[in-house]
Amino acid sequence: MMNESAEAQSAQKRRNILIAVAVVLVAALAGVFFYFHTADSRYAEKCKEAETVTTDVRDFLMEVDDLKGDPDGDDVKEYLDRLSKAETNLDKLAGDLKSMRVSGKNEGRNQALVEAILLEKDILTDTETVLKAPTDAKTADVIGKLKGKASELDERAAKLTFETVDFAAALKLDGLDDRLKGYVKKKEALDAQKKAEAERKAREAAEAKRKAQQKKIEDRNQTLMNTTSDVIYLATNVKRTSPSRLDIDGFFYNGTPNRVVSVDDMMLDVTLYKDGEVVYSQVFTFGKISLGGWIPSHDRQGSHLWVNDNNGATIPEDFDDFVIEAANVHWTYYR
């Protein structure tokens, strides 16, 4: 009887052990099931967040159309700040997805999703490059590569099949290259407008300077005519026609009480200036100068002269003022 009781107790212990092991296995399996179930739920939520983030980026990139084309403009500066934040959001999203524990069925899809998000971030970087320097020599190449990346992203997104999210739509960046080309054209138009405006102002400034210079010459010549009692030559314009030749427009003025019939000889002291500094100076001697008839007293007669520098000096092209003074003028007159 005692042997039978011992055997019964031993059998009961074995049954208890088996029951305990079974309970542990069931609990472990339940724990594994719960872990992977909650992991899949967390991953699904993260994918939904990823869809929201990438959709926001897609819509944000469409706003390139609204930019005016000036990298220094407030609208572009504000857009670049937002673009930098979008890059940070994509980078964080990719990092979060990489660090998540996912079930075996989602491992491949998760890796593909991370790669797609990083590719979109790369596209944002290219967009930033174009917006900052739209007329750079490499801009067209950057836009061309961006177009290829957008096509690759589109292909990758089409393969991201999830039940509750649509990455094919969220990651679709069709037309971004054309938007950026439009931005570049706006910048080119702004530059052309600025250039035209600068040229207009330069022409107006040059014309104002020319008129002021002409007025100064006229006033100077008038002062000399008012005070001279001799025959003098007064220049009205000087033009460099070669490295050694100057053509001079001007007139002889007769300040004497007699009629002047010829100018027998004279000297011209020619000085050229640039921004108030002397850039050329030379004295030239003339022999007999033919007149177109006699010059009445206190009257003038136009005369075109030219001088040739035979001393080896080069006459500068760039000068903005001149002073030409006649000296030792000898003339023949009739009373």
Model pLDDT for residues 82-134, shown as the tens digit of each residue: 999 999 999 999 999 999 988 888 899 999 999 999 999 999 999 999 999 99
pLDDT score, position 295: 95
CB under 8 Å to 335, separation ≥6 — which residues?
A: 258, 259
Using only the alpha carbons of the chain, give its radius of gyration. Answer: 46
Query: Is the pLDDT at 135 greater than 60, yes or no?
Result: yes
Query: Is the pLDDT at 190 greater than 70, yes or no?
Result: yes
Query: Is the pLDDT at 170 greater than 50, yes or no?
Result: yes
pLDDT in tens, 247-266: 999 999 999 999 999 999 99
SS3 of 220-270: HHHHHHHHCCCEEEEEEEEEEEECCEEEEEEEEEECCCCEEEEEEEEEEEE
pLDDT in tens, 299-324: 999 999 999 998 888 999 999 899 99
pLDDT in tens, 22-48: 444 544 444 444 444 466 889 999 999
- Angle between helix axes 2-62 and 176-227 (nearest 10 degrees) is 30
Q: What percent of the chain has pLDDT over 90?
A: 79
The mean pLDDT value for 64-92 works out to: 97
Q: Are 121 and 58 in contact (CB under 8 A)?
A: no
Query: Is the pLDDT at 221 greater than 70, yes or no?
Result: yes
* CA–CA separation, 325 and 103 (whole Å): 99
pLDDT, averaged across the chain: 90
Q: How confident is the model at residue 202 (pLDDT cuts 50, 70, 90)?
A: very high
